[in-house]
């Protein structure tokens, strides 16, 4: 296994030959351990109402220039059915963070409705922030099987700098454990090239993922949003290309955690039109096509230059299919594409539930 020094050296590398070697090595690990099929998770951003105020995020509660929305149940179910019809075997339901009973009940109802509408064939991932143990359990019982909760950074002090005082890093880490206990496949991740972040922080992020035995990673570059307090802090960033830094993180994550699922995130595409394909070539195996109805997309801008704001789900699918074919990979339509790591992790406890 690579030690901390080697990871740092590889994270700092900018020589094209060293980078090429890193990406090829990661791709080979991916090929051997999870294969070269790409799995799609259609993402439905069903509401931008958020009670939190993260300093980097465009839909933070303090941004009063955003028009808030909530998709109707029918719109959400219809979008889930569309994903199902298009052969995406999994969806992600994402929104701003709320913990009130109306919201918790609502998500539970949506989960049950989707389960019914798609004969339980659709894998459902949630990305709805920090919740109580009871809520996580209720949503699991209602049919959710995976959960994405990024820790944003493993450096507690940096986390505090990027959030208001009442946002608690320890609580976020605790939630990851609650999710595991509830039986979810657990995903986490960080933003890359945040103001004040160092290469050592990124190395520690990788160690954090490994130490916490997580099943899935979704990480991507931090991208400014000019209606946020963090915008304009560019002097305090590592002065390196964010796309390259993100690809290096993906590759190192793949080499360190061979059998997990790693997403090639939309934020990569915001930096370069072929950013997601480069992510796949560096070791990622998951893509999250945006399924949010076009009329809402403009209001779900976590960062500037979010791509494909005017492309509907079918257009996204065709464009992605072409792009994936161009790099010689196959698409795992109609397959859940669960993280193999999850089944190994839970084999001893018998908690794992196979879906496809």
Residue 136 interacting with ligand SAH (CB under 6 A): no
Measured in degrees and rounded to the nearest 5, phi and psi for residue 147 equal -145, 135
| Residue 23 binds which entry of ligand SF4, ligand SAH, none, CB below 5-8 Å type-dependent | none
Q: Among 42, 129, 143, 337, which residue sits at the site for ligand SF4 (rule: CB under 6 A)?
A: 129
Q: Is 98 in the site for ligand SF4 (CB under 6 A)?
A: no
Taking CB under 6 A as the binding criterion, the range among 69-77, 114-122, 219-227, 280-288 that sits at the site for ligand SAH is 219-227
Task: Please report how close the Cβ of residue 149 comes to ligand SAH at its closest, in angstroms.
Answer: 6
Nearer to ligand SAH, 191 or 253 (CB): 191
- State the binding string over 250-279 for ligand SAH (x if CB under 6 A, else -): -----------------x------------
Q: Provide the minimum distance between the beta carbon of 265 and ligand SAH in the complex, in angstroms, as a whole number.
A: 8
- Please identify, using beta-carbon distances, which residue of 42 and 129 lies nearer to ligand SAH: 129
Q: Which of 160, 236, 229 is nearest to 198 (CA)?
A: 236
Stretch near ligand SF4 under the rule CB under 6 A, chosen from 3-11, 47-55, 281-289, 291-299 = 47-55
If one asks whether residue 57 binds ligand SF4 (CB under 6 A), the answer comes out as yes
> Residue 60: which of ligand SF4, ligand SAH, none does it interact with, CB under 5 to 8 A by kind?
ligand SF4
Query: What's the closest the beta carbon of residue 129 comes to ligand SAH, in angstroms?
Result: 4
Smallest gap, in angstroms, from Cβ of residue 187 to ligand SAH? 11
Identify any residues that bridge with 264 across adjacent strands, giving them in sequence order: 219, 287
Count of positions on this chain that bind ligand SAH (CB under 6 A): 18
Q: Could you tell me which stretch among 50-58, 137-145, 237-245, 275-283 binds ligand SF4 (CB under 6 A)?
A: 50-58
Q: Whole-number minimum distance, CB 189 to ligand SAH, in Å?
A: 7
Of these partners, ligand SF4, ligand SAH, none, which one is at the site of residue 265 (CB under 5 to 8 Å by kind)?
A: none
Which two structure tokens, joined as six digits, stand for 120? 């339980």
Closer residue to ligand SF4, CB minimum distance, 285 or 290: 290
In the bound complex, what is the minimum distance in angstroms from residue 145's beta carbon to ligand SAH?
Answer: 17
Q: Could you say whether residue 223 binds ligand SAH (CB under 6 A)?
A: yes
Q: Tell me if 54 contacts ligand SF4 by CB under 6 A.
A: yes
Answer for the pair 52, 60: CB distance below 8 angstroms, yes or no. Answer: yes
**Hunting for tokens 């160690």 — which residue is that?**
207
Stretch that binds ligand SF4, among 26-34, 54-62, 197-205, 283-291 (CB under 6 A): 54-62
3-state SS record for the chain: CCCHHHHHHHHHCCCHHHHHHHHHHHHHHHHHHCCCEEEEEEEEEEECCCCCCCCCCCCCCCCCCCCCCECCHHHHHHHHHHHHHCCCCEEEEEECCCCCHHHHHHHHHHHHHHHHHCCCCCEEEEECCCCCHHHHHHHHHCCCCEEECCCECCCHHHHHHCCCCCCCHHHHHHHHHHHHHHCCEEEECEEECCCCCCHHHHHHHHHHHHHCCCCEEEEEECCCCCCCCCCCCHHHCCCCCHHHHHHHHHHHHHHHCCCCEEEECHHHHHHCCCHHHHHHHCCCCEECCECCCHHHHCCCCCCCCCCCCCCCHHHHHHHHHHHHHHCCCEECCCCCCCCHHHHHHHHCCCCCCCCC
Identify whether the C-beta of residue 275 lies closer than 8 Å to the C-beta of residue 268.
Answer: yes
- Residue 103 is encoded by which pair of tokens? 């919201």
What does the binding site for ligand SAH look like in residue numbers (CB under 6 A)?
A: 50, 56-57, 94, 96-97, 127, 129, 149-150, 152, 191, 222-223, 225, 267, 302-303
**Contacts to ligand SF4 by CB under 6 A:** 50, 52, 54, 57, 59-60, 96-97, 129, 302
């Amino acid at each position: 296994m690579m030690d901390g020094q080697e990871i740092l050296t590889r994270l700092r590398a900018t020589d094209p030959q060293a980078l090429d070697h890193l990406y090829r090595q990661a791709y080979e690990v991916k090929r051997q351990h999870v294969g070269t099929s790409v799995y799609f998770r259609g993402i439905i951003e069903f509401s931008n109402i958020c009670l939190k105020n993260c300093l980097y995020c465009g839909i933070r509660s303090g941004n009063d220039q955003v028009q808030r929305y909530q998709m109707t149940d029918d719109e959400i179910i219809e979008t889930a059915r569309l994903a199902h019809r298009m052969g995406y075997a999994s969806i992600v339901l994402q929104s701003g963070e709320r913990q009130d009973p109306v919201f918790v009940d609502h998500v539970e109802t949506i989960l049950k409705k989707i389960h019914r509408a798609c004969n339980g064939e659709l894998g459902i991932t949630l990305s709805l922030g920090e919740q109580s143990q009871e809520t996580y359990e209720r949503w699991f019982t209602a049919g959710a099987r995976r959960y994405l909760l990024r820790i944003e950074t493993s450096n507690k002090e940096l986390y505090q700098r990027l959030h208001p005082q009442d946002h608690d890093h320890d609580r976020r880490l605790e939630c990851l454990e609650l999710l595991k206990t509830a039986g979810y496949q657990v995903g986490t991740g960080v933003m890359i090239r945040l103001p004040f972040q160092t290469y050592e922080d990124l190395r520690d992020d990788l160690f954090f993922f490994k130490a916490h035995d997580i099943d899935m990673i979704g990480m991507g570059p931090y991208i400014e949003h000019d209606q946020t307090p963090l915008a304009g802090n560019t002097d305090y960033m590592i002065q390196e290309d964010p796309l390259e830094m993100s690809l290096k993180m993906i590759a190192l994550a793949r080499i360190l955690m061979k059998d997990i699922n790693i997403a090639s995130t939309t934020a990569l595409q915001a930096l370069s039109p072929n950013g997601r394909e480069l992510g796949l070539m560096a070791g990622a195996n998951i893509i999250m096509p945006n399924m949010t109805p076009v009329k809402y997309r403009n209001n779900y801008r976590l960062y500037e230059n979010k791509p494909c704001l005017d492309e509907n789900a079918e257009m996204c699918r065709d464009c992605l299919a072409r792009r994936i074919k161009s790099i010689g990979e196959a698409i795992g339509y109609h397959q859940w594409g669960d993280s193999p790591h999850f089944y190994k992790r839970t084999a001893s406890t018998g908690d794992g539930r196979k879906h496809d």
